[in-house]
Amino acid sequence: MKRNNSESQMAVLLNGKALARGIRLKIKERVEQLPKPPKLSVLLVGEDPASLAYVFGKQRDCQEVGIEFELHRLPEEVRQGELEEKIRSLNRDPSVTGIMIQLPLPKHLDPLQLVSTIDPKKDVDGLHPVNVGRLWLGSYDLDRDLLPCTPKGIMKLLDHYSIPLRGKLVVIVNRSNLVGKPLAKLMLDRDATVMLCHSKTHNLQERMREADVLVTAVGRRPQFVVDAEHVKEGAVVVDVGISYHEGRLVGDVLFERVSEKVSYITPVPGGVGPMTRAMLLQNVLLAAER
């Protein structure tokens, strides 16, 4: 997987922003062909500033492609039962195509139980046990099924740049239900050898140096950072981490230093983030087309 360019040149940029723009245009065309526009309903608990920013970003994305957006804001102290009943009412509403719960939630709420309450056909985050089960049984289609948005976006990005996975060692520094676990299964289904790493992994830096494809999704700068010495020559690096460090948005990877050593790399911002947002829109469209 070594690049053909000289050692002094930068890695090829995995431009998620440009690819996501093209995907959104295609989604808009397909939405316009539907008898009625799809509707995404988002449940937001509390007033977390970051969550608010993410939600309004989703609203802008939906408006761009013609998807209706509906925000349900609930107080921080909302009870589990109340939230579950709200979800069930959205399940019954024929005008609602997709339902998602903005995470994280207050500690007194059980996110797994809430996600399990969503109708699997409206689960545009791909986190309902039925959709997770289909993924792990291999009973899914990347283009037609409701899969978690970030892993799906990463696979689309790698496919767009024709990056082979068969027989490659993929090291994923994340074991969450949102990113690490579903991405591991998608990679396994492409015949990659996958290693899931986390905060308790022994010799983590050594494991990262072994990777043909390194996916890092920690988001704890400066406590965790990936430097050039932590990556293999010619590797593919996918940076999913997001942190605000020294007044700017950064990933886990020291981009300028690492890009001089690897073959492909995602920027932050402009890499995985736009793909995640585009895949959410695609999942809403898929739910509507069903």
Of 125, 79, 78, the closest CA to residue 102 belongs to 125
Q: What is the number of other CB atoms lying within 10 angstroms of the CB of residue 264? A: 21
Structure tokens at 6: 């000289």
d(C-alpha 165, C-alpha 227), whole Å: 23
Report the amino acid identity of residue 33: Q
Q: Which one from 123, 125, 239, 252 is the annotated catalytic residue? A: 125
d(C-alpha 36, C-alpha 8), whole Å: 53
- Residue 150, φ and ψ in degrees, nearest 5: -65, -50
- Annotated active-site residue 227? The verdict is no
- Annotated active-site residue 102? The verdict is yes
Q: Which one from 58, 152, 168, 261 is the annotated catalytic residue? A: 58
- Annotated active-site residue 125? The verdict is yes
Q: Which one from 39, 86, 102, 122 is the annotated catalytic residue? A: 102
The catalytic residue positions are 58, 102, 125
